[in-house]
């Protein structure tokens, strides 16, 4: 089974976000970059399927030179080869990113493609869907369970939606977006890290892929979130007193209950 | 010329979901700013009767597409059918809910139509050129972006529970237009083979008005009973921090935060949650935040509108009793 995993490098979730002077992007100077957490589930699921069905796992990332680190992490976890599409992703939305990745992925065999359900930077939650559309394959999003038929002819997945879980069957090739709960991502082992250094890292530039990616959204500005007014710490002698006063305030002052 | 503000309604088991009224209301407000019309799209099997109800929330017209293949949502059937009516009618703006269904559908639809998409928005405005400017939190709320999605239509999704409903006017009946479902069966590559209902009748976190959430301070899974009791009185959903989820105390679907659900209830009550940056990212757009924590230094207090420094095992049962008194 040939599997492709798309992964994005994003700021560590601990990062404080500072907006740049032009209000169009964020300051990246102090940021520690990591593989998007949802993409770790995607890589793990691909590796598990490879263990069962054989074949290979190719990881793809579009971004500046630094994203090679995230690709190396995936190779160290056990992926076989990497494709780095070198591009300044700051200028790209999910549409443009998906156009580029579709062009790269068309050239490699793929029975299944995994992405994360969303990248925790711009939270666009749409690159997977756009990629599936551009490749003309079905998408299965926010998936917490993947079962590939023994003869690898189809896939059955579980997709929790509000208050229920849909069990969906799809033909292959298909694209799956990984949700938390799908698996527990493995860590890269030391031998894995050593081996990763020798695994192929194929660099592509957008020109060679024959696409001029088009962003379909204009950023007017990026601003800090609305400030929350300072809150009230409720005084009282005992927990009970405080609890009673809290409920009174929620009722009388906040008018919520 | 693209004209009119459209929305996509959402039904479950043949009944409209609340998010449908939210997107209808958002569309109505935009249409009123520029004096244009509002049209809804409703898909399903045997749902034409529901279409009428959208009039009260501002729909002038509702396009109804019915087929057995549409009774349960699938990306391929819904996106192909909606793309069809959209292309035929050329609306200027199309609003969907950022529900689980809407997130999946909007991404596919925007790509199919070759237009931009602003996902999970908390505010919509029209600029001087009558173009949609959508405000959306990014970095899970650590910053906010104003976006103009390109193309006709401009597509955006509204975060559930954020868009105020317009005052419903039951006397308004929309024009209902039935559109044939004409998607080629060969294009439908996915099939819902089973629907596993969540028997607990839990309220979905992303759509809940009130959330009671517990973290590592709950000490163990058995203690969530006291939160469930409070939630029951309040009609609330129960959430959790990642620590509680990773410890196996609560299911993954309950996690609130940057790698869990981003929620915006009217009231969020955090019990035994320290307020790590990733947790705050997921709940700081709640209207009112309450924290119950025994450590007065806990960062959650910096975001909380009301806080009590107390042992939650003492405070929570008392709160539940007080809420009960108020609500009985
Ligand atoms: C990549 C990444 C993604 C993450 N994503 C998320 C996410 O989406 N959501 C999330 O929540 N976290 C996330 N985290 C984890 C986050 O960093 C914190 O570890 C986590 O939120 C802490 O959970 P907690 O507040 O329950 O536990 P703790 O930080 O241990 O806090 C427990 C709190 O309970 C209080 N307490 C203890 N006993 C009592 C008592 N009897 N009465 C009252 N108070 C009491 C303590 O004072 C303390 O403040 C993520 C971390 C990483 C690295
Ligand atoms: N620049 C990128 N390179 C590789 N994969 C990406 C990129 N951007 C997004 N993705 C994939 O698409 C998923 C969803 O991202 P998004 O739509 O940006 O929230 C991510 O989890 C990745 O798997």
Residue B167, pLDDT > 80, answer: yes
Ligand 1 mutation pick, A8, A11, A13, A16, max ligand atoms within 8 A of CB: A13
pLDDT tens figures, A155-168: 999 999 988 899 99
Task: Output the pLDDT for position B153.
Answer: 98
**What's the pLDDT score for residue B85?**
97
Answer yes or no: is A56 within a domain.
yes
pLDDT at residue number A226: 87
A109, A178: one domain: yes
Examine the domain organization and report whether A169 and A237 are in the same domain.
Answer: no
Q: How far is residue B268's CA from residue B262's CA, in Å, rounded to a whole number?
A: 12
User: For residue A215, is it within any domain?
Assistant: no
What is the arithmetic mean of pLDDT over B273-298? 95
pLDDT at site A91: 77
What average pLDDT score do residues A194-216 get?
94
> Where do the H-state alpha helices sit in B43-118?
48-51, 75-89, 100-113
Nearest-CB residue to B191 (from A141, A161, A169): A169
Residue A223 forms part of a structural domain: no
| B77 pLDDT higher than 70 | yes
- B12 vs B123: CA distance, rounded Å: 25
Q: Which residue of A has its CA nearest to B328?
A: A257
| Model pLDDT for residues B24-65, shown as the tens digit of each residue | 999 999 999 999 999 999 999 999 999 999 999 999 999 999
For residue B203, the model assigns a pLDDT of 86
Among B308, B312, B313, B316, the residue to mutate for chain A (most A Cβ within 10 A): B308
A233 and A200, same structural domain? no
Q: Are residues A116 and A238 in the same domain?
A: no
Q: Going edge to edge, which strands form the sheet with B143-149?
A: A217-223, B143-149, B132-138, B123-126
Q: What is the mean pLDDT of chain A?
A: 95
- Residue A198 distance to chain B (closest CA, Å): 32
Please check whether the domain covering B5-187 is classified as CATH 3.40.50.620: yes
Residue B185 pLDDT level (bands cut at 50, 70, 90): confident
Look at residue B84 and give its three-state secondary structure: helix
- Characterize the bridge pairing of strands A2-6 and A56-63: parallel
Look at residue B200 in the predicted model and tell me its pLDDT: 67
Residues A17 and A95 in one domain: yes
Average pLDDT over residues B81-106: 97
Q: What is the mean pLDDT of residues B185-205?
A: 87
Instruction: Quote ipTM for the complex.
Output: 0.95
What value does the mean pLDDT take over residues A141-149?
A: 97
Considering the domain architecture, whether residues A8 and A108 belong to the same structural domain is answered as yes
Atom of ligand 1 nearest to the CA of B219: 38
Residues 6+ apart with CB under 8 A from A126: A94, A95, B103, B106, B107, B110, B111, B117, B119
Best probe of the B interface among A157, A162, A171, A222, by most B CBs < 10 A, is: A162
We report the CATH number of the domain holding residue A161 as 3.40.50.620
Tell me the residue ranges of DSSP E strands in B111-266. Answer: 117-121, 123-126, 132-138, 143-149, 154-158, 175-179, 190-197, 210-214, 237-240
- For chain B, give the percent of residues with pLDDT over 90: 91
Residue in chain B nearest A99 by alpha carbon = B111
Is the domain of A196 the same as that of A119? yes
Confidence of residue B294 (pLDDT cuts 50, 70, 90): very high
- For the segment A66-113, what is each residue's pLDDT rounded down to a tens digit? 999 999 999 999 999 999 999 987 779 999 999 999 999 999 999 999
Nearest ligand for residue A178 CA: 2
Domain that includes residue A236, residue range: 228-257
Nearest CA to ligand 1 atom 41: B311
A93 lies in the same domain as A39: yes
- Evaluate whether residue A48 is within a structural domain: yes
> Residue ranges of the domains in chain B?
5-187, 205-327
Q: Is residue A197 part of a domain?
A: yes
Give a yes or no: residue A196 inside a domain. Answer: yes
Are A100 and A193 within one domain? Answer: yes
Instruction: Note whether B5-187 and B205-327 share their fold.
Output: yes
Residue A6: pLDDT band (50, 70, 90) is: very high
Average of per-residue pLDDT values in chain B = 95
Whether residue A240 is predicted with pLDDT greater than 90 in this model: the reply is yes
Number of domains in chain A: 2
The CATH topology of domain B205-327 is Rossmann fold (3.40.50)
């Amino acid at each position: 089974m040939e599997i492709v995993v798309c992964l994005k490098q994003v700021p560590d979730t601990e990062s404080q976000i500072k907006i740049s002077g032009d209000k169009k992007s964020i300051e990246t100077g102090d940021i520690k970059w990591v593989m998007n957490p949802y993409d770790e589930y995607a890589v793990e699921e691909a590796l598990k399927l490879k263990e069962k069905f054989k074949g290979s796992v190719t990881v793809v990332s579009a971004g500046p030179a630094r994203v090679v680190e995230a690709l190396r992490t995936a190779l160290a976890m056990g992926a076989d080869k990497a494709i780095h599409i070198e591009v300044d992703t700051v200028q790209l939305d999910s549409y443009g990113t998906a156009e580029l990745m579709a062009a790269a992925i068309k050239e490699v065999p793929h029975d299944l493609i995994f992405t994360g359900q969303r990248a925790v930077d711009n939270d666009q939650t749409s690159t997977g869907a756009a990629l599936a559309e551009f490749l003309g394959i079905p998408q299965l999003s926010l998936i917490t369970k993947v079962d590939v038929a023994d003869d690898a002819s189809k896939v059955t997945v579980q997709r929790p939606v509000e208050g229920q879980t849909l069990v969906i069957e799809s033909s292959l090739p298909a694209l799956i977006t990984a949700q938390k709960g799908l698996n527990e991502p493995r860590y890269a082992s030391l031998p894995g890290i050593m081996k990763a250094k020798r695994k192929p890292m194929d660099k592509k530039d957008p020109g060679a892929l024959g696409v001029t990616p088009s962003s379909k959204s204009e950023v007017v500005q990026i601003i800090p979130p609305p400030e929350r007014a300072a809150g009230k710490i409720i005084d009282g002698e005992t927990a009970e007193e405080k609890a009673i006063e809290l409920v009174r305030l929620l009722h009388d002052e906040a008018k919520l209950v | 010329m693209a004209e009119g503000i459209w929305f996509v309604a959402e039904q479950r088991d043949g009944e409209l979901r609340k998010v449908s009224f939210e997107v209808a209301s958002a569309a109505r407000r935009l249409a009123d700013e520029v004096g244009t019309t509002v049209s809804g799209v409703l898909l399903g099997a045997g749902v034409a009767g529901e279409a009428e109800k959208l009039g009260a929330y501002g729909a002038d017209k509702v396009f109804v597409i019915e087929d057995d293949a549409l009774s349960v949502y699938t990306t391929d059937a819904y996106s192909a059918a909606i793309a069809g009516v959209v292309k035929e009618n050329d609306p200027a703006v199309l609003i969907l809910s950022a529900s689980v269904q809407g997130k999946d559908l909007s991404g596919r639809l925007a790509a199919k139509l070759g237009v931009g998409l602003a996902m999970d928005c908390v505010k919509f405005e029209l600029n001087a050129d009558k173009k949609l400017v959508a405000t959306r939190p990014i970095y899970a709320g650590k910053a906010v972006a104003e976006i103009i999605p390109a193309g006709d239509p401009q597509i955006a999704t509204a975060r559930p529970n954020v868009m105020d409903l317009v005052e419903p006017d039951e006397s308004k009946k929309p024009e209902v237009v039935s559109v044939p479902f004409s998607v080629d069966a060969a294009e439908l590559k996915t099939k819902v083979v089973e629907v596993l209902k969540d028997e607990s009748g839990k309220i979905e976190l992303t759509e809940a008005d009130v959330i009671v959430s517990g973290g590592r301070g709950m000490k163990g899974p058995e203690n969530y009973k006291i939160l469930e009791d409070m939630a029951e009185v309040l009609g609330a959903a129960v959430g959790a921090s990642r620590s509680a989820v990773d410890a196996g105390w609560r299911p993954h679907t309950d996690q609130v935060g940057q790698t869990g659900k981003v929620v915006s209830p009217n009231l969020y009550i955090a019990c035994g949650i320290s307020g790590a940056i990733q947790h705050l990212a997921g709940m700081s757009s709640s209207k009112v935040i309450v924290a119950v924590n025994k450590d007065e230094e806990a960062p959650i207090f910096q975001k909380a509108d009301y806080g009590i420094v107390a042992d939650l095992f003492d405070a929570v049962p008392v709160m539940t009793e007080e809420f009960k008194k108020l609500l009985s």
